[in-house]
Homo-oligomer: A and B are copies of this chain.
Amino acid sequence: MQILNEILEKIKKYETIIIHGHQRPDGDCYGAQFGLKDVLKTSFPNKNVYVVGETSEYVSFIGTPDTIDDKLYEGALSIVVDTATESRISDKRYSLGSEVIKIDHHIPVDQYGDLIWVDTTFPSCAQMIAYFYKTFENELKMTEVGARAMYTGIVTDTGRFRYRGVSKLTHEIAGLLIEKGADVVEIDNKLSKESIGVFRFKAELLNNAIFDEGFVYGIIKAENVEKYNISMEDAAATVNLFGGIEGYNVWFVAVEYPNEIRLRIRSSGLEIDKLANLFEGGGHKMASGARLNSFDELDKFVSEMRAYIKRYQ
């Protein structure tokens, strides 16, 4: 692709390259950032290459962002990965550089940047960086540090090769990264670690699952999140634990936030976005969000859910 050539030419032109990601970075954001840093640093040892932005405890084994002075942006190239929305770029100084490149696999919200490579057929941004490497395999290099980063990005954004978008190319790239030193068992052990608090929180939540007419749900009280000392991200992510039960093709968690209850609704059959629309929410057909003012409104939501499932199933 022509855009890949243009990106490589830009990279060659600059002495300093600063790689940004999005706020609250996840495994794929880190994977793309540190994967790209490794490829550039290894291929062009004389360039100064930095990763900036927020840290992520969950994937800290991939790398640690650099703390850099504003001055380094003078005459530098900024590359922003995995970020669809300009306001969500972590570390606003990206615009201080001479030019900006955007590399992303999300449906674009803001098309910022002097060069833009957006391809939503890639199930992870890390796969894009590895594909960039593969395209110029004769010119570029990587070490096992970059291979581990990108393999982790692919694994986390595809739910371990399970989601729509995983393709022949995804597996080919994964194989390439293993060849370059990614250790699947080491990476899985790192990603599978959880605190005793998260474990016990989940166990209690699942044990209190409420089975209704064709749907199942969990109630997450703020006091429990506090009691087990877990993050709101960990708490909200538990919605996935209720999926796949025979006869219960819709599931949700109701999470208590300071001034509202946020619902995360999922489905493996019936489209549930229209129901979410009735409760100040929406999203995708099989994965939507909604909100209630308090748990007092939960009965009403559950009644609507029952009626909705009866009507449309």
Contacts and interface: CB of A to CB of B under 8 A. Distances in A.
A243 B199 CA distance: 10
Copy count, this protein chain? 2
Contact of A193 (B174, B203, B244): B244
A116 interface: no
A160 interface: yes
Interface stretch (A42-50, A88-96, A178-186): A178-186
Given A162-B184, A189-B268, A246 B207 contact: no
A306 interface: no
Nearest to A185: B164
B171 A175 contact: yes
Contacts of A203: 203, 206-207, 209
Contacts of A268: 189
Nearest to A206: B203
Nearest to A168: B175
Given A172-B172, A174-B171, A161 B160 contact: yes
A157 to B, nearest CB: 14
B196 A206 contact: no
A270 B211 CA distance: 40
Nearest to A244: B192
Size category of the A interface is: 35 or more
Most buried by B among A195, A204, A243, A246: A246
A245 B162 contact: no
Contacts of A247: 196
A174 B154 CA distance: 15
Contact of A161 (B161, B168, B193): B161
A248 interface: yes
Interface in A223-274: 243-248, 268
A218 to B, nearest CB: 10
Contact of A207 (B161, B164, B175, B206): B206
A246 B195 contact: yes
A117 to B, nearest CB: 23
Contacts of A202: 206
A194 B243 CA distance: 9
Interface string A33-63: 0000000000000000000000000000000
A162 B160 contact: yes
A171 B163 contact: no
Contacts of A171: 171-172, 174-175, 178
Contacts of A244: 189, 192-194
13 contacts: A160-B161, A162-B184, A164-B184, A166-B184, A167-B178, A171-B171, A172-B175, A196-B211, A196-B248, A199-B206, A203-B203, A203-B206, A204-B207
Given A160-B162, A195-B246, 16 more contacts: A160-B161, A162-B184, A163-B184, A166-B178, A168-B178, A168-B179, A171-B172, A172-B172, A189-B244, A192-B243, A194-B244, A195-B245, A199-B245, A200-B209, A206-B206, A207-B207
